[in-house]
């Protein structure tokens, strides 16, 4: 089993849009998704810091209204404005934005129709919430439209001519990711033409381009792995490029490979276990030895199940990266540690 912090699988090339390559700087939009509880926001934050390392400017965005980025970087709640939340090694900067559908619509009305005041009036009578509730595809167009704008925003004063070298999107969970990103299909029944359709098509032009890649965060457990497998298939069907699979919360085996086999078969050398405990100055009664043997068997079964799940991940044919379990919880220091691990695994150049 690979140690956390090493690439455990780089296999066949995924179907990418014309001109796309594996290099991190061929992509300006990194979409991060994963089943709830897998730590996708933590991974998105670490990826943003990793991408910013070396003097780059990166925007980290969220769209679920949960202010998880602010919690992750221990900052006040994010307004609907880009704000610096972290510095990266080598002079890089990470900015963050919590994208709100109503504010995105007001900005859209102001930019294209000079109707921000009218939009405020619509918000007061609940028209915006009503519209995005009965037509959720419109909401996704607004959210992804803001992400698209940040990816393409020009800045002639910066190298490359863009405001950000990369944008990282902390996206909805895997069960919704394909529908969220495939906004053109979502609004097809609502708008055959007009500004909403035009916006959806412009979003899809970015989502399906070489600028964008979708990463999946998972755990070595049956449900997260199955959702990852399903999510990868749905994203590919939608014509979007799949990036890497980040396996989070990896736990190192506590037994050698031979002992794992024996423990899983309930064939541990109990006499040797007793002798070892005596050498450590521990009185080994029958009850204690039995409890330790049962715990070893449970651990061995978990390790074997994780090995089977890892094999399932590798059948996806994508680069696989690993991050370790952090027993004491995630803080800003862990984000920087994870960013370093992702760079060492060459997820980021």
What lies within 8 Å, CB to CB, of 259 at 6+ separation is 268, 296, 300
> What global pTM score does this model have?
0.84
C-alpha 308/C-alpha 167 separation (Å) is: 34
Q: Which of 157, 101, 159, 97 is nearest to 131 (CA)?
A: 101
**For residue 149, which of 194, 205, 188 has the smallest C-alpha distance?**
205
Question: pLDDT of the chain along its 349 residues, tens only?
Answer: 344 444 443 333 344 443 334 444 469 999 999 999 999 999 999 999 999 999 999 999 999 999 999 999 999 999 999 999 999 999 999 999 999 887 877 776 666 555 555 545 555 545 455 455 545 577 888 899 999 999 999 999 998 899 999 999 999 999 999 999 998 776 665 556 667 778 888 999 999 999 999 999 999 999 999 999 999 999 999 999 999 999 999 998 888 888 778 777 777 777 777 777 777 777 777 778 778 878 888 888 888 899 999 999 999 999 999 999 998 889 999 999 999 999 999 998 7
Domain range summary for the chain, segments of one domain joined by +: 24-104+134-253+311-344
CA gap 290, 225 in Å, rounded: 33
* Rounded Cα gap, residues 49 and 38, in angstroms: 19
Q: Using an 8 Å Cβ cutoff, are 279 and 289 in contact?
A: no
Pick the CATH number of 24-104+134-253+311-344 from 3.30.70.60, 3.40.50.300, 1.10.357.10, 2.60.120.10: 3.40.50.300
Distance, in Å, from the CA atom of 48 to the CA atom of 131, rounded to the nearest integer, reads 33
3-state secondary structure of 6: coil
DSSP 8-state assignment for residue 188: T
């Amino acid at each position: 089993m690979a140690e956390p912090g090493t690439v455990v699988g780089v296999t066949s090339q995924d179907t990418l849009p014309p001109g796309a390559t594996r290099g991190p700087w061929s992509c300006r939009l990194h979409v991060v998704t994963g089943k709830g509880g897998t730590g996708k926001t933590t991974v998105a934050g670490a990826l943003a810091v990793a991408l910013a390392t070396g003097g780059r400017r990166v925007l980290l965005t969220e769209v679920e209204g949960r202010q998880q980025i602010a919690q992750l970087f221990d900052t006040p709640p994010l307004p609907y404005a880009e704000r610096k939340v972290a510095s990266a090694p080598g002079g890089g900067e990470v900015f963050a934005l919590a994208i709100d559908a109503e504010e995105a619509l007001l900005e859209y009305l102001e930019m294209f129709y000079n109707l921000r005041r009218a939009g405020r009036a619509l918000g007061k009578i609940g028209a915006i919430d009503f519209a995005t509730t009965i037509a959720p595809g419109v909401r996704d167009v607004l959210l992804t439209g803001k992400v698209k704008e940040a990816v393409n925003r020009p800045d002639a004063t910066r190298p490359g001519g863009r405001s950000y070298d990369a944008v990282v999107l902390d996206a909805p969970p895997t069960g919704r990711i394909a529908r969220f990103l495939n906004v053109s299909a979502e609004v097809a029944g609502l708008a055959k033409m007009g500004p909403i359709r035009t916006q959806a098509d412009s979003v899809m032009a970015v989502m399906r381009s070489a600028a964008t890649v979708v990463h999946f965060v998972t755990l070595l457990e049956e449900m997260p792995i199955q959702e990852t497998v399903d999510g990868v298939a749905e994203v590919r069907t939608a014509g979007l490029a799949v990036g890497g699979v980040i396996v989070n919360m990896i736990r190192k085996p506590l037994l050698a490979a031979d002992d794992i086999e024996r423990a899983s078969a309930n064939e541990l050398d109990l006499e040797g276990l007793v002798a070892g405990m005596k050498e450590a100055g521990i009185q080994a009664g029958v009850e204690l030895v039995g409890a330790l043997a049962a715990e070893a068997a449970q651990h061995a079964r978990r390790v074997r199940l994780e090995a089977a799940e890892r094999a399932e991940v590798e059948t996806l044919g994508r680069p696989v990266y690993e991050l370790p379990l952090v027993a004491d919880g995630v803080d800003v220091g862990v984000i920087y540690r994870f960013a370093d691990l992702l760079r060492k695994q060459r997820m980021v150049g």
